[in-house]
Structure 1
Amino acid sequence: MLKFENVTKTFDRNFKAVDSVSFEIEEGELLVIIGPSGSGKSTTMKMINKVIPHTSGKISINGKDINSYNVSDLRRNIGYVIQQIGLFPHYTIEKNIAIVPQLKGWTKQETKARVYELLEMVGLDPEIYAGRYPKELSGGQQQRIGIARALSANPDIILMDEPFSALDPITRGQLQEELITLHQKLKKTIVFVTHDMDEALKMGDRIAIMKDGHLLQIDTPEKLLHEPAHGFVEEFIGRHRIIQNPGLMPVTDILSESIVTSLPTLSPERGITLIRKSKTTNLIIADEDKKLLGIVSAYDLIKKLDDIKTVSEIMTKAEPYLFDSATAKDAIVMMDHTSMGMIPVVDRNHKIIGLVTRGSLLSAMSSQWTEMEDDQYE
């Protein structure tokens, strides 16, 4: 769908930021471009929507040379998400998302419906957030708006230039998971630039590694880990990852499926009985479809026993939580930010599928490191 043929970008004094790069991106693929500073990764991505025009070679979309497009039309049909987000501070969230649809001549009704649909898609209630301004949102919420804006006119291609690098680890991990889920659902072609190898390995269908304007290798994460084609690729990925990195272990290999859930309408007395029978310290609250709603601790339940009629009255948000596509490293990062000693794991529909506890995480990681040491001395 998206094709580079011997593409070069030359700046002043004949400096080649990108030197004769060729590759193809399949429709619906999430390609991550990674490399050190000055490798040409952002320049390569920005040439796709002509933010930076290429000097020579050919870039085509569905067989059509991008030079044959009107620049404005080209950019309106390619979503673009950047690290700084770039929301207009004097526009409401609704107006920020509506910019491209309005430029493309959508009606007010079509535009508003699309804005509300996208807000719900990125996990923000449109009734609450549509009328707010960027300064009233957290960094993570603003980045969600940036993603929604990129999707606003339903483009086939989305460019993302280090969109999560300025966020804290918890927010960054959650947005990575949400983007993976959105990609699986929408099947958009995404070109994602990052300098974080863990992020690249987690998110990419394929990963392109660049250095000094050259494309050194483009492969699946698995092939990069096991068959690095260049000394720099091996060095950049990290030898410990290439051997075996326990942090990349799927969280589904760690979680416990023995979880105790209840409906939010459960009485506190029955809640205490359920906790005692299961010998746990927390009650996971889910709806009838097993969608995660929140958590109730045994301590709070006992403390408020005479003051409440249902457990929902003292339920707290189930945060942080992990998607089933997460890794052990994600769990390690998030475990430091939970007071419950456990993290719920959900599927893409937010249905609860298990829990990761400190004990299960430490046990799994210890086992992996032991296996690595055994292999080393065989």
Structure 2
Amino acid sequence: MLKFENVSKLYNDGFKAVDNVNFEISEGELVVLIGPSGSGKSTTMKMINRMIPHTTGTISIDGEDVTKLNAAELRRNIGYVIQQIGLFPHYTIEKNISIVPQLKGWDVQDINKRVEELLEMVGLDPHVYRNRYPKELSGGQQQRVGVARALASKPNIILMDEPFGALDPITREQLQDELISLQQKLKKTIVFVTHDMDEALKLGDRIAIMKEGKLLQIDTPEKLLHEPAYGFVEEFIGKHRIIQNPELMSVRDVMNETVLRSLPNRSPEKSLSMMRKDKKMMIVVVDENDKMMGIVSAYDLMKKMNEIKSIEEIMRSSEPYLKSSQSAKDAIVMMSTASLGIIPVLDEMNRVVGLVTRGTLLSALSSQWTEMEAE
């Protein structure tokens, strides 16, 4: 769908910001561009919507050269989310979201319906937030509006330039999880720029590592971790993250045994209080025999707090899940299909014994590598 062919960006002073880059991004794929400052990652992304014109080569969308398209129309058909959010302070939230649909000549009723749909999608009650102004929202709420605005005209491609970089760690993790959930539903083609390798590993279907304008390697997180193509890639990812013989490790070695559990009839207020006390983003719903029933996220809970009487009403399926007899390799393979990046681990009686996340995988494999180096 999106293709770079021998693309370079050369400035008048002779500086080559992007040097002969070649890659393709499939429809519905989330690709992360990452590298040190000055590596060309943001420039590469901004050349897609011609915010920065490329010097040589071809960038095409569905086979059409972007330089042959009207620049304004191209940008209206590509969603764009930035770190500074960029909301118009004198516009209401509703008007901020509706800007592009209005420019494209949408009917007023269709715009109103779309605004309501998007606010609900990003976890903001439209009846509460649509008439507020950006200054009345927290940073995380503003960034949610930024995501909603990028989705407003139903673009096939979305560009995200370090969108969560300025947020506190808890809000950042919440929005990362929200983006994963949205992407599972919408299957947009997303180009995401970040300087945070943990964020890249969590979000990316594939990760493109850049240095001094060159694209060194673009691969799945698992392949980058296991088969770095260059010494710089290995160093940039961090040797501690390199996967060594995961098929020889039990899933018990890569799971977190501390699991926040609840019976299905617990109230949303008490459940959220438990999460805050234990600093957990998820609660596992079990029956009286500790057998797995489902998962409830803090995001879903806060969104539906006033609409439910018990957490059973909003719990997600426990699939996929792992058996405690399986290997770490099974967890790595299964992670790409896991809801919100979490896999429950069950014993032979289907009782919950732990949770595997990308974080626990990397932490456990990191420890293994450190021990091997020490020996």
TM-score (norm 1): 0.72
> Per-residue displacement from partner, 1:350-374 (whole Å, max 9, x unpaired)?
9x9999999xxxx999976775566
Question: Cα offset for 1:253?
Answer: 3.4
Residues 147, 373 of structure 1: alpha-carbon distance in 2 compared, 3 angstrom cutoff: closer
Which residue in the other structure is 2:94 paired with?
Answer: 94
Residues 81, 374 of structure 1: alpha-carbon distance in 2 compared, 3 angstrom cutoff: closer
Which residue in the other structure is 1:193 paired with?
Answer: 193
SS state at 2:67 partner: helix
Question: Cα offset for 1:94?
Answer: 0.4
Counterpart of 2:262 (choices 237, 260, 279) is 260
Which residue in the other structure is 1:228 paired with?
Answer: 228
SS state at 1:13 partner: coil
1:30 touches 1:190 (CA, 8 Å); kept in 2?
A: yes
Which residue in the other structure is 1:56 paired with?
Answer: 56
Which residue in the other structure is 2:153 paired with?
Answer: 153
- In 1, Cα distance between equivalents of 2:144 and 2:258: 30
Question: Cα offset for 1:259?
Answer: 3.0
Alignment-mate amino acid for residue 140 of structure 1: G
Question: Cα offset for 1:291?
Answer: 7.2
Alignment-mate amino acid for residue 110 of structure 2: E
Question: Cα offset for 1:14?
Answer: 1.4
- Asked whether 1:127 is paired with 2:127, we answer yes
SS state at 2:261 partner: coil
2:255 touches 2:354 (CA, 8 Å); kept in 1?
A: no
Residues 364, 118 of structure 1: alpha-carbon distance in 2 compared, 3 angstrom cutoff: closer
SS state at 2:22 partner: strand
- In 1, Cα distance between equivalents of 2:209 and 2:147: 24
| Structure 1 unaligned residues grouped into runs of 5+ | 272-282, 295-310, 326-345
- Asked whether 1:109 is paired with 2:109, we answer yes
- In 2, Cα distance between equivalents of 1:366 and 1:157: 33
What is the percentage of aligned positions where both structures have the same residue? 63
| Structure 2 unaligned residues grouped into runs of 5+ | 272-282, 287-292, 299-307, 321-337, 347-351
Alignment-mate amino acid for residue 259 of structure 1: R
> Per-residue displacement from partner, 1:135-173 (whole Å, max 9, x unpaired)?
000000000000000000000000000000000000001
1:39 touches 1:214 (CA, 8 Å); kept in 2?
A: yes
Which residue in the other structure is 1:136 paired with?
Answer: 136
Which residue in the other structure is 1:177 paired with?
Answer: 177
1:248-327 equivalences in 2 (<5 Å) = 253-254=255-256, 259-263=261-265, 292=296
Question: Cα offset for 1:235?
Answer: 1.1
Residues 220, 365 of structure 1: alpha-carbon distance in 2 compared, 3 angstrom cutoff: closer
Which residue in the other structure is 1:208 paired with?
Answer: 208
Residues 112, 370 of structure 1: alpha-carbon distance in 2 compared, 3 angstrom cutoff: closer
1:36-75 equivalences in 2 (<5 Å) = 36-75=36-75
- In 2, Cα distance between equivalents of 1:147 and 1:24: 24
Question: Cα offset for 1:56?
Answer: 0.9
2:39 touches 2:210 (CA, 8 Å); kept in 1?
A: yes
- In 2, Cα distance between equivalents of 1:131 and 1:187: 29
Give the length in aligned residue pairs: 313
Residues 58, 293 of structure 1: alpha-carbon distance in 2 compared, 3 angstrom cutoff: closer
SS state at 2:207 partner: strand
Which residue in the other structure is 1:166 paired with?
Answer: 166
2:240 touches 2:366 (CA, 8 Å); kept in 1?
A: no
Which residue in the other structure is 2:305 paired with?
Answer: none
Which residue in the other structure is 1:279 paired with?
Answer: none
Alignment-mate amino acid for residue 262 of structure 2: V
- In 2, Cα distance between equivalents of 1:128 and 1:134: 13
- In 1, Cα distance between equivalents of 2:267 and 2:217: 55
Residues 255, 63 of structure 1: alpha-carbon distance in 2 compared, 3 angstrom cutoff: farther
Question: Cα offset for 1:181?
Answer: 1.0
Residues 356, 196 of structure 1: alpha-carbon distance in 2 compared, 3 angstrom cutoff: farther
